[in-house]
Structure 1
Amino acid sequence: MKKWESDFYLGDTLTQDQLSFFEEHGVIVFRNFLSQEKVQLYINEVCRIEKEWIEEGKEKVNGIPLKFGKDEHGNKTIQRLCFSSLYSKALQELLQEPRLQNLIDLLGSYDGRIAENEKDGLVINNYINTPNSTFTQMGWHTDSPRDLFLGQKIMPMLNVGLHLDTCLFDNGGLRVIPGTQNQNIIKLLFGKKYFIDNNDDSKEVGFDINAGDLTVHDGRLWHRV
């Protein structure tokens, strides 16, 4: 396992170097996508939504179960929220950001859209590594089997992550196996035991992620957290 450095920054358009890098590796990190003021705004929005949902006793959103756990103080917390932008004007406006819309160009010849009302919508993951946490890691997986489960053809999908806190390589975070977005269907479905296998892979890489950074990876890429 090794750490990849990244010096990419996302402007009004994607550069050819950025497009070529993503096409080859299936993953890219853009630094300082969000200002620290915006980071704090979205943290406040997440806290507000979580508080409201817990007070309401909400357990599902659009049929998708919420994942609950305990924070470091033993308080009930939601560790996976879905369709979050439907409950926040600020998050809705974030998804309309032109720079985010331009990421669709990473799909190449395929048509794309931001799936605010599809699958699980805007998902917020809150990984807490404490004894009471129920969500400290996510084993190796791709995002493709869900297409098969829904009776659809496996198509390219971008997994876009906006990071609201800092997670350095030594502390965990996103791990990917670069280039596996081009693997055949057998390796895609059976290359690892989905979500169960969390063993190190000699070809995997990780990153130093800072609050405000943006990560994008192809959903067909093997990845874990």
Structure 2
Amino acid sequence: MNPPYQTFELSDALTREQIEHFETFGFLHFRNFIDAARVQALIDASIEVQRRWVADGVDKVNGVPIKYGKDLDGSPLVQRFAFANLHHPELARFLDEPRFKVLFPLIGSADTRIGHHEKDGMVLNHYVHAPGSAYSRLGWHTDGLRDIFLGTRLNPLLNVGVHLSNLGPEHGGLRLLPGTHRQGLWKMLFRKRYFLDHDTDPDEIAIVPKAGDLTVHDGRLWHRVAQSTVSGEASRRRVIYIPVISGKYAPKTDKSPTPLYQRFASITNK
């Protein structure tokens, strides 16, 4: 399934075609989910949160490490925000966007919900390919690994991305292995070396969004974040990820420990 792949528009209900596409390939890409003004408002909110976290020396939120790097001018840069929705009203309001619920049938469970206080909450990734950047790529992995590491049942999970930057393939970004959400547990665990493998896969596709687009992929799908082949300001990209989950309610607090898989990921991705 080579690019260009099929994209859709999100309305008040998923179509049969969209559901079948997700069941077959494990992902969907919706154009124009939010407009340019909302994109900028979300970016501005993240900058405000960054300013406070840098000033206060915040290193974890609810046990989840905050990943820092350096911006192009050498100033501190938050490159991975966890639970960002708990730290700015604009981000909190966005997490309550009712159109996210249109995606719930892709899980099909009565207890499907958005993880306001679960998993890592709203995650905002800010990638820059420049000297001092600590977060310019992310190795192959599946999102279901966290449940296995925590010794819990592998529950259905959707990872919903709202893209805040215009990207081409040269900017790196999300790479998916379509159909791998239907693999068995063995391949989910051992198809690749989690976070260590970064190599291009001949079967991968590059997600190429515009600012304001929404993507959703199954938590069992193998994916990575490729490094930009351009550097400097042209490499800057931001994306929000929202967990749509089911299963036993498992909120995190400021007393929550740092999961082992996050400690591992933090030392294997530069």
TM-score after normalising by structure 1: 0.96
Letter matched to residue 209 of structure 2: I
Bigger mean CA offset, 133-142 vs 198-207: 198-207
Instruction: Give the match for residue 206 of structure 2.
Output: 206
Instruction: Give the match for residue 49 of structure 1.
Output: 49
**2 CA distance for matches of 1:58 and 1:205?**
36
**2 CA distance for matches of 1:26 and 1:4?**
16
User: How large is the Cα RMSD of the aligned pairs?
Assistant: 1.3
Bigger mean CA offset, 213-222 vs 141-150: 141-150
1:46 shift after superposition: 0.4
Instruction: Give the match for residue 24 of structure 1.
Output: 24
1:82 shift after superposition: 0.4
Alignment of 1:1-225 (within 5 A): 2-109=2-109, 111-225=111-225
**2 CA distance for matches of 1:109 and 1:23?**
15
Is the Cα–Cα contact under 8 Å of residues 4 and 207 in structure 1 kept in the other structure? no
Letter matched to residue 193 of structure 2: K
**1 CA distance for matches of 2:2 and 2:182?**
21
Gaps of 5+ in 2: 226-270
1:48 shift after superposition: 0.4
1:125 shift after superposition: 0.6
Gaps of 5+ in 1: none
**2 CA distance for matches of 1:112 and 1:153?**
15
Is the Cα–Cα contact under 8 Å of residues 12 and 98 in structure 1 kept in the other structure? no
1:173 shift after superposition: 1.0
Q: Secondary structure at the match of 1:140?
A: strand
- 1:185-220 CA-to-partner distances (Å, cap 9, x unmatched) read 110000000011011111110122110011100010
The percent identity for this pair of structures is 46
Letter matched to residue 152 of structure 2: Q
Instruction: Give the match for residue 233 of structure 2.
Output: none
**2 CA distance for matches of 1:220 and 1:38?**
30
Letter matched to residue 101 of structure 1: K
Bigger mean CA offset, 134-143 vs 97-106: 97-106
Q: Secondary structure at the match of 1:78?
A: strand
**2 CA distance for matches of 1:63 and 1:208?**
32
Higher relative strand content: 2
Letter matched to residue 40 of structure 2: Q
Bigger mean CA offset, 8-17 vs 214-223: 8-17
Is the Cα–Cα contact under 8 Å of residues 7 and 28 in structure 2 kept in the other structure? no
**2 CA distance for matches of 1:107 and 1:119?**
17
1:89 shift after superposition: 1.5
Bigger mean CA offset, 104-113 vs 195-204: 104-113
Letter matched to residue 201 of structure 2: D
Letter matched to residue 6 of structure 2: S
**1 CA distance for matches of 2:4 and 2:224?**
15
**1 CA distance for matches of 2:54 and 2:153?**
37
Is the Cα–Cα contact under 8 Å of residues 141 and 224 in structure 2 kept in the other structure? yes
Letter matched to residue 40 of structure 1: Q
Instruction: Give the match for residue 243 of structure 2.
Output: none
1:76 shift after superposition: 0.6
**2 CA distance for matches of 1:172 and 1:179?**
21
Letter matched to residue 94 of structure 1: F
- 1:14-61 CA-to-partner distances (Å, cap 9, x unmatched) read 111111111111011100101001001100000000101111111111
1:4 shift after superposition: 3.3
TM-score after normalising by structure 2: 0.80
Instruction: Give the match for residue 263 of structure 2.
Output: none
